[in-house]
């Protein structure tokens, strides 16, 4: 907990430090790098259920996650009046997991009961406002005890002459390493351990996305997004147990070494009257593991004024199971692939809640640079009896 307090203090000090560089340049196109805004998003997530994949589809899924993401956005203009934007982001999660604690079933509380994930990212974007083009690059890194990731990507966007349509193409790759931490009873001699280091396997993900946005009229705009995602390498999690129907010894879950995913999404935002904005999203998803899903999401933003709004939201989600899923003790030992991870089972889920956003022309609580605060609560119910709550807060400084 001390570490968490230190991290939060560090993030706050970073924000204060960032303002040492802020300059007010609303109209002037600055050649110098100036801070545009600083965002801090914090959230607390708690879930509970009884289908832990670590114990083969039974057992506690209790998990908490405390996440903090700090983002600093900067920009400057070059001699050709092109806008160069930079975003530096650092995220840190502290989580505790009852199911991960059961990787070692003999210990009262093992080293796997909690962990910290750190994930920084840097991105840059060059926008030519005359031509309506922008080119972006980004790089990211993520590390936690059993998982490391390096990511990078590029994007290109082009607006139409009347600025009512925009096409964006994006490509990205993640080169990940999964530590092979097997359930305690499956670790043989020479199978790795905390003292000698766990063996690692690669997991690579490549994606390409294309999106088209269109202003339909003065109140309605749409965006269509499609992605093609290819993953290969070690796509299972090694500490997930599978218990077979013949009571043979448990094994670590086994999944194919490649997966191809195609999500297609549509966003539609409509400004109704003078105070209400309806934000909607629909996604259809299909992959070659046999999973397909539908997601429908709607938010109604009621603007009491330019500075205060209330946003109730509801999200419906339904998925089919992958071909390789079966519950506890229902896999046959002759199955080629097997998992009892209920995240890949058939279920429906409902996510609902509300958010409130407060801004102030002279700064929140009289603090001039504190532009906005938003707080949002959501409740998640899954038909497999997994329930979760999440409360998030977004602070924006300009």
Partner 1 sequence: MLLLLFLLGLLGSGCTSVKEYQKSRINDGEMELSGRKIQKTEISFQTYREGSSGANGGKTGGGCGCN
Report which DSSP code applies to 180. -
Options 140, 155, 252, 340; binder of partner 1; rule CB under 8 A: 140
The H or E element that residue 205 is part of is: strand 200-215
**Residue 114 binding partner 1, by CB under 8 A:** no
Does 219 participate in binding partner 1 (rule CB under 8 A)? yes
HSE, CB side, 13 Å, CA atoms: give it for residue 85: 16
From the centroid of its chain, how far is CA 7?
A: 20
Q: How far is the CB of 316 from partner 1 (least distance, A)?
A: 12
Q: How many residues bind partner 1 (CB under 8 A)?
A: 91
Of 343, 354, 363, 369, the residue at the interface with partner 1 (CB under 8 A) is 343
Site string for partner 1, 46-85 (x = CB under 8 A): -x-----------------x-x-x-x--------------
Using CB under 8 A, which of 52, 134, 252, 309 touches partner 1?
A: 309
Applying CB under 8 A, does 174 fall inside the site for partner 1?
yes
Using the minimum distance from each CB to partner 1, give the nearer residue, 20 or 27.
27
Considering only 355, 364, 371, 397, the residue that binds partner 1 (CB under 8 A) is: 355
Q: Kindly compute the dihedral angle of the four CA atoms of residues 27, 29, 33, 35, in this order, to the nearest 10 degrees.
A: 20
Residue 98 is a binding residue for partner 1 (CB under 8 A): no
Q: Indicate which single residue of 54, 87, 322, 326 sits in contact with partner 1 (rule: CB under 8 A).
A: 322
CA angle 30, 36, 38 (to 5 degrees): 155
CB of 313 to partner 1, least distance (A): 9
Distance CA 3, CA 57 (A): 33
Q: How far is the CB of 324 from partner 1 (least distance, A)?
A: 11
Whichever of 56 and 353 has its CB closer to partner 1, that residue is 353
86 near partner 1, rule: CB under 8 A = no
- Report how far residue 391's alpha carbon sits from residue 163's, in angstroms, rounded to the nearest whole number: 37
Return the structure tokens found at 185: 């009873």
Q: Convert residues 258-297 into a mask of x (bound to partner 1 by CB under 8 A) and - (unbound).
A: -x-x-xxxxx-x-x-----x-x-x-xxx-x---xxx-x--
What does DSSP assign to residue 198? -
Contact 47, 62 (CB under 8 A): yes
DSSP letter at 368 equals T
Q: What is the DSSP letter of 186?
A: G
Q: State yes or no: residue 203 binds partner 1 (CB under 8 A).
A: yes
Please tell me whether residue 112 binds partner 1 under the rule CB under 8 A: no
Euclidean distance between CA atoms 107 and 97, whole angstroms: 14
Backbone angles phi, psi at 172, to 5 degrees: -150, 160
Pairing of strands 165-179, 147-159: antiparallel
- 376 near partner 1 (CB under 8 A): yes
């Amino acid at each position: 907990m001390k570490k968490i307090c230190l991290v939060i203090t560090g993030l706050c000090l970073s924000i204060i430090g960032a303002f040492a560089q802020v300059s007010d340049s609303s109209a002037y196109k600055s050649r110098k790098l100036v801070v545009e805004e600083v965002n801090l998003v914090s959230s607390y997530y708690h879930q509970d259920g009884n289908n832990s994949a670590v114990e083969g589809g039974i057992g506690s899924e209790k998990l908490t996650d405390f996440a903090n993401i700090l983002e600093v956005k900067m920009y400057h203009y070059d001699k050709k009046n092109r806008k160069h934007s930079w975003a530096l982001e650092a995220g840190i999660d502290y989580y505790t997991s009852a199911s991960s604690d059961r990787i070692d079933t003999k210990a009262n509380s093992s080293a796997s009961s909690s962990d910290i994930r750190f994930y920084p990212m840097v991105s840059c974007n060059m926008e030519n406002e005359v031509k309506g083009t922008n080119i972006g690059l980004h790089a990211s890194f993520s590390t936690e005890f059993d998982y490391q990731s390096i990511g990078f990507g590029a994007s290109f966007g082009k607006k139409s002459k009347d600025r009512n349509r925009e096409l964006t193409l994006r490509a990205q790759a993640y080169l990940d390493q999964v530590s092979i931490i097997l359930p305690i009873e499956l670790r043989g001699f020479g199978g790795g351990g905390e003292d000698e280091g766990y063996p690692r396997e690669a997991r690579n993900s490549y994606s390409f996305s294309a999106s088209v946005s269109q202003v339909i009229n003065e109140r309605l705009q749409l965006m269509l997004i499609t992605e093609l995602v290819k993953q290969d390498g070690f796509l299972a999690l090694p500490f997930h147990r599978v218990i077979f129907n013949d009571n043979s010894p448990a094994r670590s879950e086994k999944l194919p070494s490649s997966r191809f995913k195609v999500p297609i999404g549509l966003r539609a935002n409509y400004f109704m009257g003078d105070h209400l904005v309806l934000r909607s999203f629909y996604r259809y998803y299909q992959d070659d593991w046999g999973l397909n899903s539908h997601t429908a999401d709607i938010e109604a933003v009621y603007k009491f004024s330019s500075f205060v709004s209330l946003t109730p939201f509801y999200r419906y989600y339904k998925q089919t199971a992958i071909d390789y899923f079966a519950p506890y003790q229902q896999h046959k030992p002759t199955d080629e692939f097997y998992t009892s991870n209920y995240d890949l089972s058939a279920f429906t889920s409902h996510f609902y809640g509300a958010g409130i956003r407060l801004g102030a022309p002279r700064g929140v609580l009289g603090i001039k640079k504190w532009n906005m605060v938003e707080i949002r609560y959501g409740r998640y119910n899954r038909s497999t009896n997994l329930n979760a709550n999440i409360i998030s807060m977004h602070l924006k400084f300009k």
